[in-house]
Structure formats: structure tokens, C-alpha cells
Structure 1
């Protein structure tokens, strides 16, 4: 490709990215580290700006920045087999500095020309993983509220998506999106002639050429992959699709006016069309699908239903009873026991470690003890907040009790019940954290483009449960039909439950922390009241 100069790089751009560097001490292939770059006198930023502009004049990327140092970490044990190694690439930090400046420009171009899809939540500012989980689960809940209406979700696994990204197909995708030619040429140059070497101790392997894929550890690689699969949701527009980076979920729902058996046949036909569209996309961009890891989950409320047959390139897609999607375990009956139990097991492991650590931290140093709890235990509870309003009352009580157990460990209140623990510690209760969490998430769900599917599910819920029954007749139901009325009674939605929770908890928020009446009653009962 001919030389195409980039727009001149400004000193402010270089300084901004320099300030963002985390001071990591790991050495890269050039023998430098982010820690060393952070220690540079600020006067050197002007010199580095000149260096970057030399590259910008040619629209190129320096060759030494394309060599990655790769170390392999063990996934299990001291002597792991080859498939149990996790490779970590360390790119030259100076090259990453330049790359981040270009990444900011590409993101700005995406923002200016609205290069984004509502179905994608990964690698984008202002979009959240929780949105995808909620959009999927709310859609499934409303679908199976009708007994005759199953839903099929196909979880697609792209085989080593980032490592198998074919460069010509990526460049074509960017060209089709009308990326400016100077940026397009720079991306092409950035991808070409990349190499890596394996480092173990003091020994280094020979350099190995990278013919496909994007460099691991690069901030630009994730954005390029998102743009690479930009058109995929459009090919599957007749279905509910959810994407987070390379994790794709395709949901096919049954019709309300059909019998369950007819819905299964209809879903099978739609699944066949979806797989053909996916096969076409996979071949066009040469992005293989790992059929062995691609799974189908039939969500229903009946007993022993027939499963629709699904094939990708004449290879059967297996059905599973549950699937972990973005860290959340979804089952055929939308039960949450497995997900909650797995998370509580992790919390208990944290508690066991806390008990050992806190033995050496006396109670007078309570702030340090609290910070350990908030840093290592509380994030696990936040994972449970996303689908909180899907849980049963007993499941909520179990989670709340587990939280209070952590407070007992922090404050040394062994043997006291949950209410007394909250009273003595004067800490926020779990509903307090839930209230704060959802107050923020609710704002995001109202405004974010990737929450469109969630917003549509809320509209669907309001129609189903509303007093206007004119939609019955459009689907062939009588106005006073028992079936639609039962659907309205069975339908549930997170926002409806959230409104009830907010109305109740608003007056009780941080009661144990700010109100002294409970602690006064405790003192009176146990210390002042005559025996």
C-alpha cells in the first residue's frame, strides 16, 4: 500500500496516554517496562512526540514494536501439559504508547460515525456486561411465562477468535465501513510482519512469525475484533442476538398462538436458518466456529420436551441442561440455585482466607479488617445483584445470611444472629448495597444503547400486564380468554420488582448504619435491663 501520512500527533495526546500507564515492572521484548517509562522526566515526552510524528508522516509503525515477548503460566500444577498453559504476551511499552494514541483516534472515528450495534456490549465505553445478562434473562423469563412457548438459546463459540482473525478479511470489513484510508493503511501496517518469541527464565526461543490474529495484550486488538464482527447481528436480525466481545448468544422464541409441539418444529426451522447465516459469515471472514463448544439450551416450563435438532456444517450441536454465560449459570427451568451455590462457595473460600489473615490483625485495626472484606468478599455479592429479583425468598435469605457471616468474622461477633450483627457493627446491610447498585444500574439501563433489548422486554411486560386487551384479538384470542389472563398473572420483570423494592427500602436505607435506636435497644436489653 502507498504511504499515507496520518494527522500530526499532538503533545497533549502523548502526555495523556503517558499518564494512563500503570507502573508495571514486567520487562518487555525491548528490555523496558511501563514502570521505567513512568519514571521518565516529563521533558522527554516532547522528544517522544517527535518520534511518533516521524512514524505518522509515513503512516507506519516501527518494526521493533512488532515483536512480542511471550511467557507461559501454568493453569494447574507445577508441571502442566501443553494445553494447560496460558500464554501472556508482553508488547514493547513504547509501541503500546503509540498504539494507544491511534486507538483513541479509531474510537473517536467510531463515535463520530456511530460505528456500533445495540447487540454488542464488549470493549465499548458506557456499555456493561450486566446489560447483556439482563437483556437475555428477561427475554427468556417473559417467553416461558406462557407454558406453550419455549425459547432456544444457542451459545456460539468462535475458535480462538482473536488468534484466528484473518488480516485480509479484517481489512475488507474496515474498508466496507468506510474507515479513512490513512487509518486503514496504518492498521494494515500495524498487523503485518509481527513476531513473537517464547521466554522461559533466561532462555529465549527463535522469533516466530504471526500470519493471522491480533497481538495479545493489545488494546487495539479487541476494538478491531469488534469491528470485524460488526455486521454479524444484521445477518441474524430476525432473532434476539446478544454479543459481548466474541461471546455470541442467539435466542429463538416460540409463538404465543401456537401449540408447544408446533413451536418446537418452528424453532428447529429457524435454528437451521440461523446456522446457515452463521456458516456464511464464518466462511466469508474465515472465522471458524468451534462446534464442540457451541451449545444449545432449550428453556421451557414443561416435562421432558422434545429437543429441536440443530446442525452446523452437518455437525450436531449438543443440548445442555445449563450453561454459564458471562459468568452467570442459566438453566432450562431458569432456576438460580446452581449459580448462587457456586458463588457462595467462592465467598466461603474468601472467608476461610480472611480468618487466617485476621488472626494477625487485631480488632482495634477495624478499618483494615473492613477493607479486606470489602475488597475480596463484597465483589462476589455484587455478582449476585444482577439477577437478584429472579431469586426465591429462601435464596435471598441465604445470601443475606452469608453476608452477615462475613461481618461476624470482621468484627469477631461469633454466635450472634444476623440482626444483632448489623446492629452492633453499624455497617450497611446487603439490601443497602443492593439499593445503591440498582440505583446506578437503572440509570444505565434507561439511557445506554446496548440496553435496547432490555427496554423492549419492559415494554412487552407492560403490554402483557396492562388493562388494554386489544392485542388479544390480533393473535386470534377471545377478549376474555383464560390463556392471556393467566399469562399476565405469570409474567414477571426485574423493573416491576425493583419498583416495589425501592418503595419499601427507600425509608429503611442505611438504618443500621445511621440510626442509633437499634444500638440503644441492644445496650438497654443486654447491659442495663435488670436480670
Structure 2
């Protein structure tokens, strides 16, 4: 049975799932959650504004607590709390294409208080028992894209330094959050030892949504699969859904929510490609069993190694069934453009390109900006490009690329201080802006990661 499979898996990891029940909550808990509400957030289908709930927290905490505890006690979620308003948000390209809009789901605020009551307890149980996959970095406290990318880059660099090739396949899952099967999810939660499946069945089942666009409202539609968009529990439930995905493969698997990377190393590129093909097929079978879809057309493969050795590799062909996976020399993973020789050239060039573009725009507005405005805008629009996951890639780049980044940062300092284009930038100028030199900033962010650990 599914429960037996999960029990075996967790036992092998040294984890014995308990029969974990969800407890009722106190008025104090509900009051604190009401006080945390952002009064500027949009309302759900019930029209109750978060400001009303926050301002009246002291008066209504007892009533909300009763609703939450009644739901927990009976294992049911009121129908009124399972309806959502969906508003299409334009992304890019043609406005006439429905696929170019991202759906934004607005849920009732009271439902989020109920979800928080369950979320806090489920999350604590999963963390206390180390049930979530150790290399899953999505939607977890003290985890981020940084932790995933640091893990990835350190692992690849270590293997390449030993003279090995490293093959990687980046999986592209189609609408993974929207295609989660409710029955399978509930069985997985039960297998994890969460004795609250009746409530989750009620929470997931019978959900409705209406779409609001151009001041018109559609007829209600039934949502029969997927985790609820815009919900508190949705991301955590998705992590539970894909938590046994590593069982399907023998190679290293890195996850950031649904962003998945299969990694295989060795001395023979053809053997690596062959092994990756087997692992990919095995992974696709797991996805099919769990009613998730792999978009092979957007799935990519890459082979890492020293540049001289890579030049000798004639072909690197990873297959899934009869389809050949697209092979690339530079791949984008979690927003980072990673080169197959790990030089970091693409990362640095992209940072400098974006920084120059944004700085050019700011120069056009210079007359309207005072010192504080220039400093704030440069920090928010440009410095963030330097900072993103720098702990994962900066240590691996050469001095030439490090110098290019410093030259770019000096341009930013000159703009903030309104200096001539050739003005020297030293410690005094940096101190005036509060910025650190690029290497020192990287050290600062590294220390931040260590403190979180």
C-alpha cells in the first residue's frame, strides 16, 4: 500500500512517522494572527476587508477561534471559505493571448487564519521529524534559492576539481501546482503520519472560483485538482506531494519546489549521458504515476567540466524515450545563468548588462533625484543584481571578472555621489554611500548564510 511504501522510506531515513493530530487553537493565537494581517491586502469573495478584522481583533477573536476550532474538531471546512476570486495579471507579449496572463487568486481572509492554525502545526511536525527531503529548498524556513544554488555550485565544483565531468538535466514540469491529485496527496499525508486527512479532503474538495476581468464576473467554476492558489497551505502541501520524488532516482536530485535538477558525475561523458537517460525515464515514470507532466521540449541537459576537456567531447546526448533532450552550453537555473565551464562569464555579463541599462535610465532622471533617492534606487534596482546568490558563484570567478564587477560598482558610486566619470572611488566615497566593495559585500552575505544555519 501507499502508506507501507512511505513507512519503509521514512524508516530507512531513520524516521518513524507518528500519528500526528491537529490540536485546537487558543484565542491568543488567533488574536496574534489577526494583528499580523496586512490592512492593504485585497478582500476575498466575502468582501470582508483585512483592516476590519485587524482593527476588531480584540472583539472578534473569540468568534474566529470558535470557527477555527469547530473546523478542526469536525474535520470540515465551510464552503464559504473555499471560494476564490481570480484576477488575470498581464505578464508579457500579446495581450490577446490568454496564456500571457498570470492568474492571481484572492481568498477570504478568515480562511487564511484557519489555514495558519493548521499550517503551523503541520510544518512543526514535518520539521521536528526531518520528514521533508533534505535537498528541497523551496518554501522552507532558512532555505532559499541561495541554499539550492550554493549546494549545486559547490557540488559541481568539487567534482570538476577532481577531474570528473558532471552531467545535469533540468526538468520542466507543466503546471505542477495546478495538477496535484487530491486523492494521492491525502494518501501521502497519511503516509507521513498526519492523522488529519478528513479535514484535508474537505479543504481540497469542492473548491470554487470566479474570474473577474474588465469589471465582469464569470460563472463559478469547480476546481477539481491542484493546491489552492494564494493559500497558506498550498506550497507546503506541494512539498509533501513531491517529497517521495527522490525515491524514483539513484542520482543526486536537487529541488526548489517544482524546479528539479538531476545530477550525475563520472569520467566518461557517454556513460554519464546514458545514466542520465535512465534516471530521467525513471523520474518521468514517477511523474506520470503522480499525475504530473514533464515538458520534454523545455527540459535541458548540460555537461560541466574544465574547458579543455569539454572541447574534446564530441557529443552529449540525453534521451527520454525516443526524444532527445536539448543540450546547451549555458543553462538558466533559478535565475542564474550557469556556464558549462563554471567560469561565471555569463553571470557577470548579465549583471553588467542589466546594471548599465538601469544606470542609463537613472542618469536621465538625475535632475529630479537627491542623494537619498539616488542611493535608494541604486540599491533597489542595481545592487540587488550583484547580491543575488553571489555566495554560490563569486568564489569561482577569476580576477578579471571580479575587476569588471568592481568597475561597474564604481560607476554606481559616482552616480550616487554625483561625481565625474573619471573620479577615483576609494574607501571615503564608499563610506559616504554605505556600500561595501564587491568582495566585502560577498563576505557579508556569506556570514548571513552562516548565521541562518
Whether these two folds match at TM > 0.5 is: yes
Q: Which residue of 2 aligns with 1:514?
A: none
* Aligned partners of 2:93 and 2:100 also within 8 Å: no
Q: Check conservation: 1:24, 1:35, Cα contact below 8 A.
A: yes
Q: 1:225 & 1:265 partners in 2: Cα distance?
A: 35
Residue 391 of structure 1: CA displacement? 1.4
Q: CA deviation at 1:317?
A: 1.6
User: CA 1:418 to 1:188, structure 2 compared with 1: closer, same or farther past 3 Å?
Assistant: farther
Instruction: Indicate yes or no: 2:240 matched with 1:227.
Output: yes
Matched, 1:129 2:145: yes
The residue that corresponds to 1:294 in the other structure is: 299
Distance 1:194 1:384 in 2: 38
Call closer, same or farther: CA 1:247–1:136 in 2, change over 3 Å: same
Unaligned runs of 5+ in 2: 1-20
Q: CA deviation at 1:146?
A: 4.9
Which secondary structure does the structure 2 equivalent of 1:198 belong to?
strand
Helix, strand or coil: the match of 2:280?
helix
Distance (whole Å) between structure 2 residues aligned to residue 150 and residue 78 of structure 1: 42
Alignment of 1:239-388 (within 5 A): 239-255=251-267, 263-301=268-306, 302=309, 303-362=311-370, 366-383=371-388, 385-386=390-391, 387-388=393-394
Q: Which moved more, 1:91-100 or 1:160-169?
A: 91-100
Contact 1:28 1:91 in 2 (8 A): yes
Cα deviation for residue 168 of structure 1 reads: 1.2
By how many angstroms is 1:124 displaced?
A: 1.0
Shift in Å, 1:416: 3.8
Query: Which whole-Å CA distance do the structure 2 matches of 1:306 and 1:123 have between them?
Result: 40
SS of 2:95's partner is: coil
3-state DSSP of counterpart to 1:305: coil
Q: CA RMSD in A?
A: 2.3
Distance in 1 (CA, whole Å) between partners of 2:277 and 2:338 is 23
Does 2:165 align with 1:179? Answer: no
Distance 2:22 2:440 in 1: 51
* 8 Å CA contact 2:297, 2:325 repeated in 1: yes
**5+ residue gaps, structure 1:** 256-262, 448-531
Q: Work out the CA distance in 2 between the residues paired with 1:159 and 1:79.
A: 22
Matches within 5 A, 1:72-111: 72-76=88-92, 79-111=95-127
Q: Is the 8 A contact 2:185 2:241 kept in 1?
A: yes
Q: How does 1:443-522 map to 2 (within 5 A)?
A: 443-444=451-452, 447=453
Report the counterpart of residue 428 of structure 1 in structure 2.
435
User: Offset of 1:358 from its aligned partner?
Assistant: 4.3
Equivalent pairs counted in the alignment come to: 428
Aligned-pair CA distance for 1:293: 1.3
Would the alpha carbon gap of residues 80 and 34 (structure 1) be closer, same or farther in structure 2, given more than 3 Å must change? Answer: farther
Q: Secondary structure at the residue paired with 1:72? A: strand
Distance in structure 1 (CA, Å) of the matches to 2:181 and 2:430: 60
| Match in the other structure for 1:462 | none
